[in-house]
């Protein structure tokens, strides 16, 4: 045995398939062997012991927004405010400490005493001398003040953009609430806010390694988007490329084949831990914002069926990504959006596209037929169990009892034979993969029969994520040595015990990632 071999010894090495031994041998950044420590030890093999620990495959988050996540850590989060008055106070205090446009993230109107979104007049009362943008936590709705509307030139005569809505009062005056693509009318016109720096991004990603994440399916834009003045996310990731602590598979939110091809060239030259993975497009919005496209009206709003965003551009971009050798990820939450997206995928498969290159992002509400069709087609259902944790107080009110049974239908998809991959959609939800793993099992009590078994929940964030991201099978001999040591066995542990598990070490390509645990990884 050679000098550069290292043996990791714990109580168990386990994958979703079961316990594989108690030791893992790494050589040249890859898994060399897994088995009994006594069989793998040697006089020239370095050894690390983790008494009480369990080695599992590296955790994958198949759907993540890394640059907005870094902004959420370093910027202003208002998820914890409980009234519009408190929101105003928070905005005034922030305005007193800063200059330029004021951007706040993660507002939850369901938690406000008023049970409504604020208006432009509310925000004007707080700050009226500069643009203010307050994003709903779903990322599909923002509220702006009069100054921001003026910067964007939005007034009574401004038409709704394709795929978006400008809310108006009875006189046709914009209320300040912007939905879907209407958000970009303001966000792309702002200047003077502070873009995320390379170091802020690297610090944020290193913190994720401390949570056990080794790979991300990163949704990135080649220019400013709805989150407002975050800069060119593709260029920022590429600039960080050779210093990235974890692996990034970038799905680019591009609007034309030229920008998609340019992003591919930029990312493919950036380093070994980052690659261009394909295109990301949208077919609808969010359940929380009543913009997810539904076949029938929302139970709590009989006049709303959501916002359709899928069109000819999406089909053109899907084919452009395939021609470039990438995958296609389409955001689809409502049952109508999922149905229409699966129609697109079915056409692509009929033309010879490999099904594993097609991803149904979120797959939140599905008809029974489309649960079966997702499995039959062989496409990936990229799901976010953490949504259940934040929607527990209002989900049934939105979709009603009958649709609730097929909302986040993890077990039904698995029984049908669908390929499932887990993620968080962070910063919509917290980045903690163990929280997602626990919620895949107990579902915060929502339709518990759709919960996954402990092994299946682990598979969701390991083998399932690797399949969705085009990575080799985790913990297979010859695969990259990407793994995590926990202080407990996540399959034997209860969901609450999984939530409180400690990550003892995260290893990527055979290298332990050093994490500064004094840095925040999440804010409210």
For residue 270, give Cα distances in angstroms to 229, 242, 276, 391: 23, 7, 10, 38
How far is the C-alpha of 367 from the C-alpha of 394, rounded, in Å? Answer: 20
Delimit the CATH 2.30.40.10 region(s) of the chain: 1-57+475-524
Chain region(s) in the chain for CATH 3.10.310.70: 77-187
- pLDDT given at position 193: 56
Q: What is the pLDDT of residues 436-492, one digit of tens each?
A: 999 999 999 999 999 999 999 999 999 999 999 999 999 999 999 999 999 999 999
Which residue is it, tokens 């006049």?
303
What pLDDT does residue 75 have? 79
Q: What is the pLDDT of residue 229?
A: 62
The Cα diameter of the chain in Å comes to 82
Tokens 């939005």, residue located: 154
The CATH number that domain 283-468 falls under is: 3.20.20.140
The CATH superfamily holding the domain 1-57+475-524 is Urease, subunit C, domain 1 (2.30.40.10)
Q: What is the model's pLDDT at position 343?
A: 98
| Distance between CA atoms of residues 93 and 357, nearest Å | 47
Token duo for residue 53: 């620990």
CA distances from 358 to 24, 142, 161, 354, 492 (A): 33, 29, 28, 8, 33
Q: Which pLDDT belongs to residue 298? A: 98
Q: What span, in angstroms and rounded, lies between the C-alpha atoms of 501 and 210?
A: 12
The pLDDT score that the predictor gives to residue 2 is: 45
Would you say 490 and 35 are in contact if contact means Cβ atoms under 8 Å apart?
Answer: no
CB 168 within 8 A of CB 174: yes
Per-residue pLDDT, 158? 96
**For the chain, where do the domains classified as CATH 3.20.20.140 start and end?**
283-468
Residues of the chain with pLDDT under 70: 1-3, 191-194, 224-229, 523-524
Residue 60, phi then psi, degrees to nearest 5:
-110, 135
Here the tokens at position 274 are: 């980052």
The CATH number for 77-187, chosen from 2.40.50.100, 3.40.50.2300, 3.90.1150.10, 3.10.310.70, is: 3.10.310.70
Which residue in the block uniquely carries the two structure tokens 């958000």?
183
pLDDT of residue 139: 84
332 strand-pairing partners? 362
Task: Give the pLDDT score at 339.
Answer: 98
- Name the residue with tokens 């944020």: 204
* C-alpha torsion sign, points 396, 397, 401, 402: negative
Per the DSSP assignment, residues forming a β-bridge with 294 are none
């Amino acid at each position: 045995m050679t000098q550069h071999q290292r043996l990791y010894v714990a109580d168990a090495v386990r994958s979703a398939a079961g316990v594989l031994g108690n030791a893992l041998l790494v050589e040249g950044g890859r898994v060399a062997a897994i088995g009994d420590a006594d069989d793998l030890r040697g006089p020239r093999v370095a050894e690390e012991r983790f008494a009480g620990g369990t080695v599992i495959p590296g955790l994958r988050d198949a759907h993540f927004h890394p640059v907005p996540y870094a902004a959420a850590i370093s910027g202003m989060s208002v998820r914890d405010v409980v009234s519009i008055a408190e929101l105003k106070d928070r905005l005034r205090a922030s305005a007193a400490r800063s200059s330029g446009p004021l951007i706040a993230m993660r507002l939850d109107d369901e938690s406000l005493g008023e049970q409504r979104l604020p208006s432009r007049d509310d925000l004007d009362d707080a700050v009226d001398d500069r643009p203010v943008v307050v994003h709903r936590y779903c990322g599909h709705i923002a509220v702006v003040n009069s100054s921001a509307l003026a910067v964007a030139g939005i007034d009574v005569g401004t038409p709704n953009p394709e795929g978006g809505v400008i809310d108006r009062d009875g006189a046709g005056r914009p209320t300040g609430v912007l939905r879907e693509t209407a958000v970009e009318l303001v966000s792309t016109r702002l200047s003077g806010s502070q873009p995320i720096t390379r170091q802020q991004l690297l610090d944020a990603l290193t913190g994720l390694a401390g949570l056990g994440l080794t790979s991300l399916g990163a949704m990135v834009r080649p220019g400013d988007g709805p989150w407002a003045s975050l800069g060119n996310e593709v260029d920022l990731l590429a600039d960080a490329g050779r210093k990235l602590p974890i692996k990034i598979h970038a799905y680019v939110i591009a609007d034309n084949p030229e920008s998609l091809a340019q992003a591919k060239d930029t990312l493919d030259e950036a380093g070994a831990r980052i690659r261009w993975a394909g295109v990301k497009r949208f077919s609808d919005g969010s359940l929380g914002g009543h913009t997810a496209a539904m076949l029938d009206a929302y139970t709590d709003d009989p006049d709303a069926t959501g916002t359709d965003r899928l069109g000819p551009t999406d089909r053109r971009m899907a084919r452009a990504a395939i021609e470039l050798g990438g995958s296609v990820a389409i955001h689809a939450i409502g049952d109508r959006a999922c149905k229409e997206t699966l129609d697109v995928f079915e056409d692509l498969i009929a033309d010879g596209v490999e099904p594993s290159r097609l991803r149904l992002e979120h797959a939140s509400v599905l008809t029974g037929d489309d649960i079966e069709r997702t499995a039959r087609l062989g496409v990936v259902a990229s799901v976010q169990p953490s949504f259940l944790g934040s929607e527990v107080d209002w989900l049934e009110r939105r979709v009603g009892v009958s649709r609730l049974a097929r909302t986040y239908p993890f077990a039904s998809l698995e029984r049908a034979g669908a390929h499932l991959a887990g993620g968080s959609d962070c910063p919509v939800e917290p980045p903690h993969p163990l929280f997602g793993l626990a919620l895949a099992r107990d579902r915060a009590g929502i339709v518990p029969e759709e919960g996954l078994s402990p092994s299946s929940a682990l598979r969701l964030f390991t083998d399932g994520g690797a399949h969705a991201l085009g990575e080799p099978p985790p913990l297979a001999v010859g695969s990259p040595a990407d793994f995590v040591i926990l202080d407990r066995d996540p399959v034997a542990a209860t969901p609450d015990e999984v939530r409180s598990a400690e990550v003892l070490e995260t290893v990527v390509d055979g290298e332990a990632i050093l994490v500064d645990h004094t840095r925040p990884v999440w804010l409210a």
